[in-house]
Chain A
Amino acid sequence: MSKNSTILTTVLTIALIAIGVWIGENINLLPIDASTNAPVYDELFKVLFTIGAILFLGITGLVLYSLIKFGRKPGQKGDGLAIEGNLSLEIFWTAIPAIVILFVGIYSYDIYDRMGGMQSLGASGHEHHAMNSNNKVWGGIGSSYSPGQTNKNEVLPPIPIEVTAMQFAFLFHYPEGDIISGELHVPTGQPVTMRMESKDVIHAFWVPEFRLKQDVIPGQPTILNFTPTKAGRYPIICAELCGPYHGGMRSTVVVEDSEKFNEWFNKNSKSPNLNT
Chain B
Amino acid sequence: MTIANTPLKESSLQPKGWFRYFSFSLDHKVIGLQYLVCGFVFYLIGGLLASAIRVELTSPISDFMPRDVYNQVLTLHGTIMIFLWIVPVVNGAFGNYLIPFYVGARDMAFPRLNAVAFWLIPPAGLMLISSYFITGAAQSGWTAYPPLSITTPAAGQIIWILSVLLLGGSSIFGGINFIATILKLRRPGLKLMQLPMYCWAMLGTSILVVLSTPVLAGTLILLSFDIVANTGFFNPNLGGNVIVYQHLFWFYSHPAVYIMVLPAFGLVSEILPVHCRKPLFGYVTMVYSIMAIVVLGLVVWAHHMFTSGTPPWMRLFFTIATAFIAVPTGIKFFNWVATLWGGRISLNSAILFSCGFIINFVLGGITGVALAQVPFDVHAHDTYFVVAHFHYIVYGGSVFVIFSSIYHWYPKVTGRMLSENLGRLHFALTFIGFNLCFAPQHWLGLNGMPRRVAEYDPQFQLINQISSAGALLMALSTLPFLWNVFESAFKGTIAGDNPWNALTPEWLTSSPPPVENWEGEAPLVSEPYGYGVTQAEFEQSSISTYQEDEHQ
Contacts and interface: CB of A to CB of B under 8 A. Distances in A.
B344 A76 contact: yes
Nearest to A95: B327
A221 to B, nearest CB: 9
Given A84-B279, A105-B323, A79 B531 contact: yes
Contact of A72 (B285, B319, B347, B548): B347
B6 interface: no
Interface residues of A, number: 85
A219 B242 contact: yes
A202 B366 CA distance: 29
Nearest to A53: B366
Interface string A142-160: 1000000000000000000
A242 B147 CA distance: 9
A238 B450 contact: yes
Interface stretch (A8-16, A55-63, A254-262, A268-276): A55-63
A34 B140 CA distance: 33
A73 to B, nearest CB: 6
A140 B311 CA distance: 9
Contacts of A96: 330
A5 to B, nearest CB: 13
Dominant SS at the B interface?
helix
B325 to A, nearest CB: 9
Contacts of A94: 285, 327, 330-331
B37 interface: no
Interface stretch (A112-120, A169-177, A186-194): A112-120
B355 to A, nearest CB: 5
B148 A201 contact: yes
B452 A246 contact: yes
B375 A141 contact: yes
B549 interface: yes
B17 interface: no
Given A81-B343, A81-B535, A141 B278 contact: no
Interface in A84-137: 84-86, 89-90, 93-94, 96-98, 101, 104-105, 108-109, 111-112, 115, 117-118
A75 B346 CA distance: 11
A200 interface: yes
B452 A63 contact: no
Contact of B307 (A93, A112, A204, A238): A204
A264 interface: no
Given A86-B282, A239-B307, 14 more contacts: A63-B340, A63-B355, A70-B340, A76-B542, A76-B545, A78-B533, A79-B538, A90-B282, A101-B326, A105-B319, A138-B309, A138-B311, A214-B309, A239-B383
Interface of B: 62, 66-68, 70-71, 139-141, 145, 147-148, 151-152, 236-237, 240-243, 276-285, 307-312, 315-316, 319-320, 323-324, 326-327, 330-331, 333-335, 337-338, 340-347, 351, 355, 358-359, 362-363, 366-367, 369-370, 373-376, 378-379, 381-383, 442-443, 446-448, 450-457, 529, 531-535, 537-538, 541-542, 545, 548-549
16 contacts: A45-B376, A55-B366, A60-B359, A62-B337, A78-B538, A80-B277, A80-B343, A84-B279, A94-B331, A97-B326, A112-B373, A141-B378, A241-B141, A243-B151, A243-B152, A247-B453
